[in-house]
Structure 1
Amino acid sequence: MSLIIGDSTALGTANALAAQGIRCAVHARVGAPSGESVKTFRSPVGAGRVLIALGSNDPTNPRLARNLMVVRQRTMGSQVTWLAPYHASPARIVTDIARSFGDPVIQLASIPSRDRVHPQNYRKVAATLQWRKTASIRADYRPTRALPSPQHESSVRQAVVLSF
């Protein structure tokens, strides 16, 4: 099972992976700050690949490093990858936490963006992950609803959690 945790950049990446036929459990919400995941996220047993995309929505949060550390300590995955936000300060924090665990980091700053929050094209993020379909994904999996488009922030605040 693959798992994606985070904010709108997590949702955009989940959509890009789904377009390739790669289904993931998603614990993400547009506008989600890192503290929200600390309060609500519990890693499922058996997660293989995990993507953590947090920090874009709280670049000045003094608790960002602590929040990311808590989320990472709760993450039970054989391969954990991080998305570092475009904003330099949280990107450094994400990179430091990831490196302390030996996790790879995708620097969103290396991917073109119109708003310096979201990539112009999430397919580039998905391609950088190099996730492929695996036999461990259940054949009867059906998302309960379509994932929202993360291209633009909206005032609608909605949680999207898919599980197997």
Structure 2
Amino acid sequence: MFECLILGDSTGVGAGQAINRRYAQQCDVQAVERATAAQILTWRKTGKDYGACVFAMGSNDPAGAALVTKLTKIRTSLCFRRVIWLLPYARPQAYTVSSVAARFGDETVDLNRFETRDRIHPRNYSQVASVLLR
């Protein structure tokens, strides 16, 4: 059976809800509003072997070396065959997240391509789900 995980902050919550409305095999969602990379590092691992994972994090952290270190720890602590990172709207954080994704050869989806009201959350998460489920 294919297993998937959505891990992260409020953009992960929204993406997870939109994916699970459209996807027959429900993805596990471990995401909460305002989650930081440091908080995510403390979350209990599920013990499942996920075929795919969407990482939605970085929006609530300052960009820079400390964020790279935390994201790298998260990425190396979870083994997935396919990882897709949602790049935050804030460009400094997006560049930081993108650098970690590139290091591991992971895919990225830039939230900046989706309409937003607050420069943090997409206006329509079903559009994000459509891109992620391709």
TM-score (normalizing by structure 1) = 0.75
Q: After the TM superposition, which residues 83-94 of structure 1 pair with which residues of structure 2 at under 5 Å, given as runs?
A: 83-94=86-97
Q: After the TM superposition, which residues 84-123 of structure 1 pair with which residues of structure 2 at under 5 Å, given as runs?
A: 84-123=87-126
Cα distance in 1 for residues equivalent to 2:108 and 2:130: 14
More helix by share: 2
Structure 2: which 5+ runs fail to align?
Answer: none
Cα distance in 1 for residues equivalent to 2:112 and 2:130: 15
**Secondary structure of residue in 1 paired with 2:85:** strand
Note closer, same or farther for the CA distance 1:105–1:15 as it changes in structure 2 (3 Å cut): same
Are 1:42 and 2:45 matched, yes or no? Answer: yes
Name the aligned partner's letter for residue 57 of structure 2: L
Deviation at 1:44, TM superposition (A): 2.7
Structure 1: which 5+ runs fail to align?
Answer: 132-164
Deviation at 1:122, TM superposition (A): 0.6
**Secondary structure of residue in 1 paired with 2:30:** strand
Name the aligned partner's letter for residue 19 of structure 1: R
Deviation at 1:21, TM superposition (A): 3.3
Counterpart pick for 1:20 among 19, 22, 46 = 22
Are 1:8 and 2:6 matched, yes or no? Answer: no
Deviation at 1:116, TM superposition (A): 0.3
Query: How many residues get paired?
Result: 131
Among the aligned pairs, what percent are the same residue?
A: 34
Deviation at 1:45, TM superposition (A): 3.0
Which protein shows a greater Rg? 1
Name the aligned partner's letter for residue 38 of structure 1: L
Note closer, same or farther for the CA distance 1:102–1:68 as it changes in structure 2 (3 Å cut): same
**Secondary structure of residue in 2 paired with 1:77:** coil
Deviation at 1:58, TM superposition (A): 1.2
TM-score (normalizing by structure 2) = 0.91
Counterpart pick for 1:53 among 51, 56, 67 = 56
Pick 1 or 2: higher relative contact order, CA cutoff 8 A, min separation 6: 1
Deviates more, 1:43-52 or 1:31-40: 43-52
Note closer, same or farther for the CA distance 1:24–1:38 as it changes in structure 2 (3 Å cut): same
Note closer, same or farther for the CA distance 1:9–1:82 as it changes in structure 2 (3 Å cut): same
